Structure 1
Amino acid sequence: MNVERILIPTDLSEKSNAALASADLFIEMFDCTVDLMHVIPLSKYLGDSFDKIGVPLNMDKDIYPKLVENQRKELSAFANEHIKDKKRRGEYIVTIDRKPSDSILNQIKKGNYDLVIMSARGSHYADFFHGSATDKIIRRSKTPVLTLSETMFLEKINTILVPCDFSNHSLAAIPMAFDMAKRFGAKLELLNVVEMYAHDVHGIEPTTIGIDEKAVYGGIKGRLRSFFSDFDEYNFEVQDGEEMYHDILVHNNNGEKETVEFKTVILKSIAAHHEIVDYANENADLVVMSTHGRTGLSRMLLGSTTEQVIQHLEKPQITIKPDLED
């Protein structure tokens, strides 16, 4: 993964500082430039109110420029407080928009960023950091989005988890997880949740049936090999490990082979996203996942459930939207 430019949207509240406070870690890891962005979402509504009461002020000439200037100064102050390397501070971007998510998505596309880092906790613009706006950015951004609630530290990222089903889209998150595992010196785990279907009939509690974990494990490993064979641009292969559920990812990087051992974890659940959140909160330090899936896990990865996962996930999460024909 090549990261040269990062965008950090912020609402300038103390609660949203986790992303800014993590900037130095990524600057050190990738030697990249960080742009800061703030969206003023209410000024347009204020402008409408001013027009109605006949205030002799021009919003475009008198109000907006001052708002933008003030917010840019605050962005600069936040950067001074949280980003030590002045040479790696990029642009201070301030926009005015009814919908902060649309403004940020436009900037992501225009700025050609490699990574977006967002705090999962905001203050007075909480509707941006939670709910449909965050969900919209995650689902629509073609740039990977890292969402976090607390500052990330190198020494605290020891286990990276990739929730995956048998779809190409979910497996496409693995190369990024591999790269993060190499950079953090972390363990890598692939988590597959088998959704069990049962019905509550005449007051009988739902029950689950048994699963053949060895068969599921073999199926996952087979799909991994097929995926990397079909998408050979990733330059990955899978080697058998010395014991069950423990195997090796091999990346052919310009003639040099890089390896990361990974563990396959198989769980069963009535609702996959609940199991993934519980397992990740207890066992992982970073979650890397796709926003698209086909089987089973797709219910967790698509739509409003993504928002629920983000809200309940206590650990940092990178979401990607792979451009694949699945």
Structure 2
Amino acid sequence: MNIERILIPTDLSEKSNAALASADLFIEMFDCTVDLMHVIPMSKYLGDSFDQIGVPLNMNQDVYPKLIENQRKKLSGFANEHIDKKERRGEYIVTIDRKPSDSILNQIEKGNYDLVIMSARGAHFADFFHGSATDKVVRRSKTPILTLSETMLLNKINTIVVPCDFSNNSLAAIPMAFDMAKKFGAKLELLNVIEMYAHDVHGIEATTIGIDETAVYGGLKGRLRSFFNENEEYNFEVKDGEENFTDTIVHKNGEETSIEFKTVINKSIAAHHEIVDYANENADLVIMSTHGRTGLSRMLLGSTAEQVIQHIKIPQITIKPDLKKKS
């Protein structure tokens, strides 16, 4: 994974500083440039309202430029507090928008970023983070989004978990997970959740229903092999391990590199509950696709991914794969 430019949107609250405080880690790992962004959530109709009541101010000429300059100074101050590597700071971007998520998405597309880092929580009064802007950005961004609740530290990323079903979209998160596992020196696990029912059932223990986990594991590994064969641009292959549920992914890109991965098969009535519980207990970073497949064995529907993002406590990277259909 080649990361040259990162965007970090912030609402300038202390609660949102986890993203800023994690910038140096990625600068050190990828030698990248970090742009900082702040959106002033102001109604675009405010200027018209002033004009109608006769206030002798022009919002575009008298008010907005001063607001933007003031917030740019604050953004620079936040950078001084949290990002040590000054030479790798890029632009300080300040915009005014009725919908902060729209400004962020526009900047992501315009700036051609490789990764966006957003704190999972902002000020309690802001409509900037989970439940609003962050969720909208995660749903719509074509660029991977890293969301986190606390500062990300290199020595705390020991296990990376990729929730995946049998869909190509979910499996497309694995190449990024491979690269991140290499960078962090972390273990890699693929988590497949067998969702027992398509609706909530109370008082039933899902594990009482028999499931051949070895068969599911074999099927998932076969799908992963097919995925890499169908998408040769990734230059990956899967080699069998000596024991079931433990295999090796090999990357052939000039020189051959490999990493061992473990497949975990769990059962649950609701997939997102199991993903959240397993990840919070066993993972230090989750990397997942925001779209999977539909049907009785669905797992990574948009709604499931959103539920995971809302409730998980550890850092997570979400991607929206743009897989080309094979002719």
Where does 1:2-17 land on structure 2 (aligned, <5 Å)?
A: 2-17=2-17
- Partner residue, 2:261: 262
Query: Are the structure 2 counterparts of residues 18 and 45 from structure 1 closer, same or farther at C-alpha, using a change threshold of 3 Å?
Result: farther
Which residue number in structure 1 is paired with residue 310 of structure 2? 311
Segments of 5+ residues of structure 1 without an aligned counterpart are none
**Cα deviations by residue, 1:52-94 (Å, 9 ceiling, x for unpaired):** 4322111000000000000100110011111111110000000
Q: Where does the alignment leave 5 or more consecutive residues of structure 2 unmatched?
A: none
The equivalent of 1:94 in structure 2 is: 94
State how far apart, in whole Å, the 2-side matches of 1:163 and 1:48 are. Answer: 48
Give percent identity, aligned residues only. 81
User: Contact (CA 8 Å) 1:193, 1:269: kept in 2 or not?
Assistant: yes
Where does residue 120 of structure 2 map in the other structure?
120
> Aligned residue for 2:245?
245
What secondary structure does 1:143 align onto? coil
Alpha-carbon separation, structure 1, partners of 2:130 and 2:69: 27
Give the direction of change, closer, same or farther, for the CA distance of 1:159–1:59 in structure 2 (3 Å limit). same
Q: Which one-letter code corresponds to 2:31 in the other structure? A: D
Larger displacement relative to structure 2 (306-315 or 262-271): 306-315
Q: What TM-score results when the alignment is normalised by the length of structure 2?
A: 0.94
**1:180-219 alignment, distance < 5 Å:** 180-197=180-197, 205-208=203-206, 209-219=209-219
| Partners of 2:176 and 2:199 in 1: CA distance | 38
Deviation for aligned residue 1:183: 0.2
> For 1:77-226, what aligned pairs fall within 5 Å after superposition?
77-123=77-123, 126-197=126-197, 205-208=203-206, 209-226=209-226
Deviation at 1:130, TM superposition (A): 1.4
Task: Supply the distance in 1 between the matched residues of 2:159 and 2:98 (Cα, whole angstroms).
Answer: 39
Q: For residues 310 and 200 of structure 1, do their structure 2 counterparts lie closer, same or farther at Cα, with a shift above 3 Å needed?
A: closer
Aligned residue in 1 for 2:322: 323
Q: Measure, in 1, the Cα distance between the counterparts of 2:322 and 2:101.
A: 21
Query: What is the CA–CA distance in structure 1 between the aligned matches of 2:200 and 2:224, rounded to whole Å?
Result: 36
What code does the residue aligned with 2:193 have?
Answer: V
Residues 1:233 and 2:233 are matched in the alignment: yes
* Mapped contact 1:193–1:297 kept (Cα < 8 A): no
Report the equivalent of 1:286. Answer: 285
Q: In the alignment, residue 40 of structure 2 is paired with which amino acid?
A: I
Equivalent residue letter for 1:323: D
On the 8 A contact 2:164/2:300 being kept in 1, the answer is no
In the alignment, the residues of structure 1 paired with residue 264 and residue 286 of structure 2 have an alpha-carbon distance, to the nearest angstrom, of 14
Q: Could you say what secondary structure the match of 2:127 adopts?
A: helix
Alpha-carbon distance change, 198 to 272 in structure 1, aligned in 2, over 3 angstroms: closer
2:75 maps to 75
RMSD: 1.9
**1:7-46, CA deviations, whole angstroms, 9 ceiling, x for partnerless residues?**
0000000000000000000000000000000001125354
SS at structure 1 position matched to 2:78? helix
Off by >6 Å, runs of 4+ in structure 1: 198-201
Q: Which moved more, 1:38-47 or 1:159-168?
A: 38-47
Shift of the 277–244 alpha-carbon distance from structure 1 to 2, 3 Å rule, reads: same
Query: By how many angstroms is 1:306 displaced?
Result: 3.5
Deviates more, 1:129-138 or 1:230-239: 129-138
Q: Is the Cα contact below 8 Å between 1:131 and 1:307 reproduced in 2? A: no
